[in-house]
Amino acid sequence: MAYVRVREGEPLPPISGETQLGPIDLAQFRGRPLVLYFYPKDSTPGCTREAVNFQARLDDFERFNAQVVGCSVDSVRSHQRFAERQGIQFPLISDADKSICTRLGVLNERGTSARRTTLVVDGDGIVRKIFENVKVPGHVDQVLEALQELV
């Protein structure tokens, strides 16, 4: 059963916020693919593996001219510590007020964190692939395959 409120083939709603690298508006990535992934919590084992896996493959994403952006309900300061410890160089949006996760329907049942979900968005801002209930092992490869299908 799908829980994400945006559907494949629909435009990604406007999203902006603060990251460990400063303010961000996802509209700034129009013209290039975007990978927006939601994760439950900084510095937990699964979320750390997922972020490190994306970071390790940034060169592969750059071959598609794709921007990777993470998002969780953690604070900007938490993202800063997490990124510093793990060498994460892509933006991590702080959704501390849970407005982004709520609007997109990726907040968990308890309303405490994001569900592990990834959206692949084309250069026109259209959601082309949604991965729900993501399992970390092999996920980055799945996302890269989805990007390959965009070209």
Does residue 11 belong to any structural domain of this protein? no
List 6, 26, 47, 114, catalytic entry: 47
Q: In Å, how far are 29, 124, 126 from 151, measured between CA atoms? A: 17, 13, 14
Segments in the chain below pLDDT 70: 1-2
Provide the pLDDT for residue 100: 97
Does residue 8 belong to any structural domain of this protein? no
| 118-144: pLDDT as tens digits | 999 999 999 999 999 999 999 999 999
Looking at the 3D structure of the chain, how many domains does it have?
1
- Phi/psi at 28 (nearest 5 deg)? -65, -15
Instruction: List the domain range (segments joined by +) for residue 100.
Output: 16-150
CATH of the domain at 81: 3.40.30.10
Q: Would you say how long the chain is, in residues?
A: 151
Provide the pLDDT for residue 69: 98
Burial pattern 104-120, b for ≥16 Cβ within 10 A else e, equals bebbeeeeebbbbbbbb
Say if residues 91 and 25 touch (Cβ distance below 8 Å): no
Annotated catalytic residue 71: no
